[in-house]
């Protein structure tokens, strides 16, 4: 009798192969990468300097692709320079909030008990605060600079990361590999950092990616209200400067607004694709 055929093995796809099956995610990655390159090489890509001035309110044309603003500066160059500031705020504010969230969420999920109760009450207190209006008050009191805005956004946005990581730690701390490491005499710090945290990071990475767009929008909102750093060109500052000239020079608001839309769309699509690639439910399809 012929031997029974071996059961077909389920193909194992790498992270990149799972990610690239999502065309929307690839588009988001391409858009985000393009803006990152523009931000990094802004001085080389901008056709004009930030202090170079021409005639005011020139419409888009051959000499000035996106036109000029009320001061006569090139809008296209300002959009390029604004890319650096907006992405800087989005990246470093999320790094700040993620660092705080990981510290609090890991401690709450690993130690549980009174430590968990105390840290979760602190987290809930921050969650119920109206973040946008609190950010307005803090910026108005302490002044606006790029780094202060980064710190404010980071301090206000950590609760979601903390709660997410706490849930992951609660699910992982009793697993066999953690018990085996504990039996070998590993310290609590080593158990958290070397055993549990690496296995709990995938949803944190996805959450951080999605928070970048929120941080960029929050900075743009603060700048639009006149609470941004006046010495650093950002898309929000450009929208603030265009408020009085919507009817006369539509391009002053249209192009930075479109850049803001494209960036947040690209980051969100990339985050959704990363979530699908790291989600075990979608990996098994």
The most confident of the ranges 95-109, 115-129, 142-156 is 95-109
pLDDT for 5: 41
pLDDT given at position 281? 55
What CA–CA distance (Å, rounded) separates 87 from 36?
7
3-state SS, one letter per residue, for 17-71: HHHHCCHHHHHHHHHHHHHHHHHHCHHHHCCCCCCCCCCCCCCCCCCCCCCECCC
Share above pLDDT 70 across residues of the chain, in percent, rounded to a whole number: 93
Average pLDDT of the residues in 215-224: 90
Q: Residue 186 contacts by C-beta under 8 Å, 6 or more apart in sequence?
A: 194, 195
Name, in order, each residue with C-beta under 8 angstroms of 8's C-beta and a sequence gap of 6 or more: none
In the predicted model, what is the mean pLDDT of residues 270-285?
A: 70
pLDDT tens string 138-196: 888 877 788 888 998 998 889 999 999 999 998 888 888 888 888 888 888 888 888 89
- Give residue-wise pLDDT tens across range 188-219: 888 888 889 888 888 898 889 889 988 999 98
155: exposed, middle or buried (Cβ count in 10 Å: 0-12, 13-18, 19+): middle
- Whether the Cβ atoms of residue 62 and residue 47 lie closer than 8 Å to each other: no
**Tokens standing for residue 94:** 């999320």
Between 54 and 168, where is the model more confident? 168
Segment 53-58 shows an average pLDDT of: 85
Whole-model pTM above 0.75? Answer: yes
Reply yes or no on whether the pLDDT at 36 is more than 90.
yes
Q: Under a CB-based contact definition with an 8 Å cutoff, are residues 267 and 210 in contact? A: yes
């Amino acid at each position: 009798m012929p031997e029974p055929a071996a059961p077909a093995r389920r193909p194992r796809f790498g992270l990149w192969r799972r990610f690239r099956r999502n065309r929307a995610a690839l588009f988001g990655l391409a858009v985000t990468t393009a803006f990152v390159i523009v931000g990094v090489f802004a001085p080389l890509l901008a056709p004009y300097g930030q202090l170079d001035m021409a005639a005011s309110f020139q419409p888009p044309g051959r000499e000035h692709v996106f036109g000029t603003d009320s001061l006569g500066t090139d809008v296209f160059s300002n959009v390029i320079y604004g890319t650096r500031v907006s992405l800087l705020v989005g990246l470093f504010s999320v790094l700040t909030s993620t660092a705080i969230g990981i510290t609090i969420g890991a401690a709450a999920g690993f130690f549980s008990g009174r430590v968990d109760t105390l840290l979760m009450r602190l987290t809930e207190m921050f969650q119920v605060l109206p973040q946008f209006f609190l950010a307005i008050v803090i910026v108005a009191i302490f002044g606006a600079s790029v780094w202060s805005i980064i710190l404010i956004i980071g301090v206000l946005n950590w609760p979601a990361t903390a709660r997410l990581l706490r849930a992951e730690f609660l699910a992982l701390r009793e697993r066999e590999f953690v018990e085996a490491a504990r039996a070998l005499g590993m310290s609590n710090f080593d158990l958290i950092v070397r055993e549990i945290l690496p296995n709990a990071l995938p949803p944190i990475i996805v959450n951080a990616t999605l928070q970048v767009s929120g941080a960029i929008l929050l900075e743009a909102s603060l700048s639009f209200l006149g609470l941004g750093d006046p010495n650093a060109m950002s898309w929000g500052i450009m929208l603030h400067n265009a408020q009085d000239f919507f009817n006369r020079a539509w391009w002053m608001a249209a192009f930075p607004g479109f850049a803001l839309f494209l960036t947040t769309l690209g980051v969100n699509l990339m985050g959704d694709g990363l979530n699908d690639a790291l989600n075990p439910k979608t990996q098994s399809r």
